[in-house]
Amino acid sequence: MTSNDSVITSVPTRLLIGGEWVDATGGATFEVTNPANDEVLASIADATPADGERALAAAAGAQAEWRATEPRKRGEILRSAFELLTERADDFARLMTLEMGKALPEAKGEVAYGAEFFRWFSEEAVRIHGRYAEAPAGNTRLITMKGPVGPTLMITPWNFPLAMGTRKIGPAIAAGCTMVVKPAAETPLTMLALAALLEEVGLPKGVLNVVTTTDSGGVCEPIIKDSRLRKLTFTGSTAVGKKLVAQAADQLLRVSMELGGNAPFIVFGDADLDAAVDGAMLAKMRNIGEACTSANRFLVHSAVAEEFAEKLAARMGAMKVGDGTQEGVEVGPLITEKARTGVHELVEDAVSAGAQAVVGGAIPEGPGHFYPPTVLVDVPATARVLREEIFGPVAPITTFDSEEEAIASANDTEYGLVAYVFSKTHARVLRVSEALEFGMVGLNTGIVSNPAAPFGGVKHSGFGREGGFEGIEEYLETKYVGSAL
């Protein structure tokens, strides 16, 4: 088995700019720590705005040649990256667990999921096409062409350090776009390791540039406002996303945003309760609840609410909490102490308003940012936990009595990323799916994410889609040519 130390020491700790691993201007570094024990894992380069400018210059300089690279070659680079990433799955999983906290089995699942974006888009690279048509008047031929948008800034989050990168990098490589990637300061090591892997499989210099920094705004804003940049893609909070969209307006950038969520998990009275609990475990506890797709509000028909709560509490309460690298651990630490405090404040607010914690609800003693799986019942409608994104292992349960009430409650949020519905009635799940104001709906399943499907939301959850046939369109421009006969 690979040791923690060997995984860490194999990761580059400098910036990748123009195909060279370089120190930050001035030589500044910052520490990456393990959320399970606060131990320092590595010190890595802390980029300055000047480094961001150098990275963009490298991406812009490589764009013309990369655009001209044949689609088959771009696809084969992605396929090779998929194969090598799959081969090294254990190392990447351990690296993610060390810097982010998720348990090793969860991390291995992310490697498989993240690698699949490379395989999917390796196959899409050769399927980019336009169309040829006769104009209605008959005297002109209408030709549409597809081409890469151009240099792209990618800002990725800490919660899925690999997959949130591959689902942006994959379509960009397939489409022929060059990139500057700015990973989250909490979890930069996985992206650095991924960049080294792409370099190893033959991605040309300057196509992918990586800047790690603790000054995200200072480094990214000048890049966003530079005329050489043509696209911005961001996964993260709605508050930050709004600021980035405003900055992108200066250059009228192509923008795709995957932002916050407040996912309802609706259980109707005719649902298979065991299947619903299985789905709830996936939708709530995937990634320790630190996911934008995490079930945030459990809306359960009053006739089955008590039984559902008991079964869910039994399952969540039995989960082993601890260091994600240890055997049998299912729930690792939250990313920071601030994150844990925020989750606990939501629980305390709900309890003070009348909710009851069936299981969990207390901060454990000892090192690390651990929080126990928690189930809340009798949660009042005014509780913050129902309005705000929890981003932790807390399941608040409320009840409803009619289909109309369930739909109204589910839609009563500014967010619109994903919703989950459990019912045995075919007509009902179709009606409810159509009525829900969300970009994605999971029917009798607790997982909707799939590289072959378009991932994304509506309302304050953002716009644009990642994955599926639609995912590559975010990195392509359409050119129309009218040819007279």
**Which residues does the annotation mark as catalytic?**
258
Task: Round to whole Å and give the CA distance between 44 and 36.
Answer: 20
CB 256 within 8 A of CB 454: no
Q: Which two tokens stand for residue 40?
A: 């320092």
d(CA 21, CA 87): 24
- Structure-token pair, residue 111: 């490697």
The dihedral over CA atoms of 307, 310, 316, 317, expressed in degrees to the nearest 10, equals -170
SS3 label, residue 183 = coil
User: Hey, what are 274's tokens?
Assistant: 């065991």
Tokens of 307: 């039984």
Q: Closest Cα to residue 318, out of 279, 368, 373?
A: 373
CA dihedral 445, 450, 454, 455 (to 10 degrees): 70
Closest by alpha carbon to 159, among 12, 287, 278? 287
Kind of pairing between the strands at 295-301 and 394-400: parallel
**CA dist., res. 22 & res. 12, Å (int):** 10
| β-sheet with 20-22: strand ranges across | 20-22, 15-17, 208-210, 179-182, 152-155, 231-235, 254-258, 462-463
Residue indicated by tokens 């913050």: 384
Distance between alpha carbon 92 and the CA centroid of its chain, in Å?
17
Q: Nearest CA to 280 among 433, 81, 422?
A: 422
Three-class secondary structure of residue 227 per DSSP? coil
In 10 A of CB 450, how many CB atoms?
Answer: 13
Task: State the DSSP code for 80.
Answer: H
Distance CA 254, CA 362 (A): 44
Residue 366 and residue 315 in contact, taking contact as beta carbons nearer than 8 Å:
no
End-to-end CA distance of the chain: give it in Å, rounded.
68
